[in-house]
Amino acid sequence: MRNWMNIAGRLALWTACLLAPSADAKGATGAGEASGSSPNNMLIATISPSELLRSTPAASILESTYPTEELHRLFDDWRETFGRSYESDPPHEAALRKLTFLKNHAFIEEHNQAGHDWKLGHNEFSDLSQEEFMERMKLGKHSPGVFKPRGRSDGRLVSAGARSLRSLAADVEEDEFEGNAGEYDDLEVPDEKNWVEEGAVSSVKNQWFCGACWAFSAVGAIEGARAIKTGNLTDLSMQQLLDCDDTDMGCGGGLMNWAFQYDEDSVGLCSLNDYPYAYHRHWFWGCSRYAPYCTPIPDTRVSKYVNITETEEDLKAAIAIQPVSVAVMADGVSWQFYRDGIYSSPCEDPKTINHGVLAVGYGSDENGDYWLVKNSWGGYWGQGGYIKLGRNVGSESVGGSSCILTLASRPILKDEE
């Protein structure tokens, strides 16, 4: 029987994720390398950077001995790794970034010493406060909310002001969704699966400042389905979706299912080489200007998509078939500084989903069971661009770790002769 609330929720949970570049700089500034114990360092850990700046001259904060030589050297190493010079900024801004880095460093150290199953580490977000990180990524209170899609046939652009919130009781057409009740009853599901190792997952990409996580997730799922079907893994174009999918909102967010529907109605996807990522939507005649000059790759047209029932058993079975598009709640310090281990956080509210990613496997290690998830924040974030989310941790009834169960779907490709 069709789960109506699940279907309506899929429409309502519009993935809006304006994401900045991310990197993890493994080995460059590992957490726990420099703790420091000076009074200044204690102040940094307990007082906000802006408060400290009101009482301490910026020039003093930028001295090589503040708060200790070891911690200043750590900050300098991080700046060199990620190309932060602050030379064009006034001393106040450079001092604020240093204080923010040091405060984040103190938090990372405290977390890693507390015995959690996941570790944090410095990355390109290390000079951003949590609030700045969420604002830049359009997460938390900065998320633009739950948007109502325009519909697939009007072909008109809609400004942000014209978009409206959609309730969980939103109307949907019955033929736009394919359920999967009983679909996996006869499937032999292995205990572990890793589509990266099996050659069905392309390299990790970086969406930078464009909120196109939905396109990266959808394209990754289509790439995986095609690789499994044909034995040929080809990087496909996310830019084609940004320019030509008039239902989703380009860099302003979108939904993987709408991307699949675009591909149902199109001639297929071009390769990434033929239609490269531009880090923004080509607003003026973008699709009509660029798409005709690329050749769609065979076996990239979607026949339909399948929404995965919100259970860990069914998500596991779906991933055993192919990589699966999923959406998660990605705000918070643990996502900002995730380095490795299994991260488990329950889904507090499905409406907080704000980031589309790709589930490419599952397995177990010494810390427990996990989902292997490919992110689109670059290859230096997390574990080479991947994160392990907790599985079988008692959060299935509330949407799974980081809401991973609530918006999962997979494309089925058309048979081409």
| Distance separating alpha carbons of residues 411 and 226, to the nearest angstrom | 10
| Distance separating alpha carbons of residues 272 and 54, to the nearest angstrom | 49
Catalytic residue among 17, 213, 244, 294: 213
213 assigned to active site? yes
Give the burial class of 37: count Cβ atoms within 10 A of its Cβ; 0-12 exposed, 13-18 middle, 19 or more buried.
Answer: exposed
| Distance separating alpha carbons of residues 281 and 249, to the nearest angstrom | 9
The tokens for 299 are: 């076996």
| Distance separating alpha carbons of residues 148 and 11, to the nearest angstrom | 8
Where are any strands of DSSP class E within 141-271? Answer: 193-194
Catalytic residue among 72, 105, 111, 355: 355
| Alpha-carbon torsion (334, 9, 212, 180), positive or negative | positive
Q: N- to C-terminal Cα distance for the chain?
A: 34
355 assigned to active site? yes
The tokens for 214 are: 């939905």
Cβ atoms of 25 and 122 closer than 8 Å: yes
375 assigned to active site? yes
Place of tokens 């679909």: 183
Catalytic residue among 41, 307, 354, 375: 375
Peptide bond into 67 cis (omega under 30): yes
**338 sits in which H/E element:** strand 338-343
Place of tokens 């959609």: 166
Catalytic residues: 213, 355, 375
